[in-house]
Structure 1
Amino acid sequence: MTAPLRRWFTPALALFASAVMVAPFSVPAQAAPTPAAPTESDTPLLSEVLDQTGRRFLDAKAALEASKKRQGILAAELKKAEEQIEALTPQVAEIAARAYRTGKLGPVSALLNSASPDSFLDRAAALEEMNAVNDHKMHELNAARELADRAKALADAEVKEQEKQQTVIARQKSDAEKALALVGGKRLTNGFVNASSPVAKAAPRTASGGWPAESCSKDDPTTSGCITPRTLHAYNEVKKAGFNLFVGCHRNGGPFEHPKGRACDWSLLKSGFAPAATNAQRLYGNNLTAFLVRNADRLGILYVIWYKQIWFPATGWQSYSGESDHTDHVHMSML
């Protein structure tokens, strides 16, 4: 019996086999049950650590990108304000110098020096216009200075925010590497990425760029169970990209994201699961994995496992030696 078939035995069958070894007796041979999906044991790695670490890493990444975007807007505001200050400062300085040279003549003195009624009216109008221009220039300069001060203060705050998020990213990356080491994680450079893979339609995000929490509220097209809206979106995008072989998503019980409706196992066959036996099957898994990794940020993918390797946003590709070597399916977990 092959290793894949052995791991599909249920705990009850395993217990039965143990009883046979202790007290052997003759029983009719029984056919192995047809597997519905690969089985995977519960470990701290994927059931808790990667879930929490991945979410924090991606939240920090989204916050960092949003902060950089805000900083760019503030930099543009600051540049505009500084240009206004540079243009207005000489004008306001000239107004101040003129007022100093004329001894700061008030409106009454200026009007009394009029030689005629027409001159009086002309001077009154000119004085009113000059005061309006001077007030406007002063107001513009003060407003520009206030804008510059505000932009500088907010830009400084964004720098601190970015430093904070970068610290979170570094810590989550370190935590992920430690966790992956438990299942043979070792950094690899030959991960599955194909720049010619189709670009998937992006799944909805929050206003801040993060991923909203979702419940298992959509019918699973592969089983009678449920999946999250984000998982359904990813499923549809994978199908749209041409990967149309067998797939199973929701699975009751067990670890990982399957019972939460946040994972799918993409088989290499039209029905059931079996390790890659041909170059075409291996290439299918490679191409599917490359598509998922390239579009991970668009789809909200938490991690991908394929052919003894695992891709995680915080670490990239690393080796993987869990109970299932994932040579018979590509595993996709969602946020």
Structure 2
Amino acid sequence: MVRRGAAALTAVLLVPLSATAAPAAPKPTVKQLKKELAELQKESDKLITDYYNSRIAQQKAEKAEKAAREKLAAAQEVYDRNSGELRAMAIAEYTGGEPNRIALVTGNEDPTALLSRLALVQHLVDLQDARLRGYAQVRDAHQQAKDEAAARAKELAETVGDLEKGKKKAERQIERIKDKIDQLYQAPGVRRSDGTWVPQLPEGSDNITPRMRLVKQLIKDRFEVPFGIGCYRAIQDGGEHPLGRACDFMLSRGGALPSGAELKRGEEIANWAIKNAKRLGIMYIIYRQRIWHAGTGAWRTMSDRGGTTANHYDHPHISVY
């Protein structure tokens, strides 16, 4: 009885030990994630390169088929003309329009003239035969080029489908890794209980706050912003620029309306800022004559300020607390 109780107690003591969960794997570092991101981007670039190589091969096949088709048309014209001449010769020879070869041999014509005429006839037949063989070669070359173009088109269609799937998969993975990298950063400074943040003072040669500097760097890393980023301005206009708490992410130069691709980049930057606003201390976003505020969580149309830049059509503006 004692032994049975001891065994039961031992079993109870052993259960928690065997059921203890393994320690959680450490979170990946920014360096590790960026390395993984670089590898995925390299894979995505390779897929794009393969796609364009396939397109070039298809274009070459189509060009070769077109050239062969043009040669075939020219050869067809020669073939039709020579076929007509051959038919005329055959009709003339076998219907009595011209003496046939037996009649020529058995007739009274001079042998030398007879041989010359026979040689001429044979020469014409051989010439027409050579032309017809040339036509057949051109015809066969066109068919081969046509078959190769069709096969290349089928191969390209399959390749493009596979590449498109792989490209989309790589892009999704890249976005997930970029999100993970963003989530490893937290806005510096003190956050109040109501969700707002204690303002910071600008510092450094760029005269912006640490919080704004973090947002600027994350957007620059993720979206590139090829037309530049403008932050500190000394002009006191009532906004956050002179306080070092705002940046403009330019999508064009000289007040020009951005291209469709750049407008899309602006939307992506604005959506990213909304998604990360709470964690990074973003206060409001202005883009395309609209303003989004962290306090309301919604876009509101703004009044017309009279220009592409003034209405923020050529850049998203982001301000932090």
TM-score interval, normalised by the smaller of the two chains: 0.3 to 0.5
- TM-score w.r.t. the length of structure 2 is 0.44
Bigger helix fraction? 2
Say which one has the larger Rg.
2
More relative contact order in 1 or in 2 (CA 8 Å, sep 6+)? 1
TM-score for both structures, normalised by structure 1: 0.43
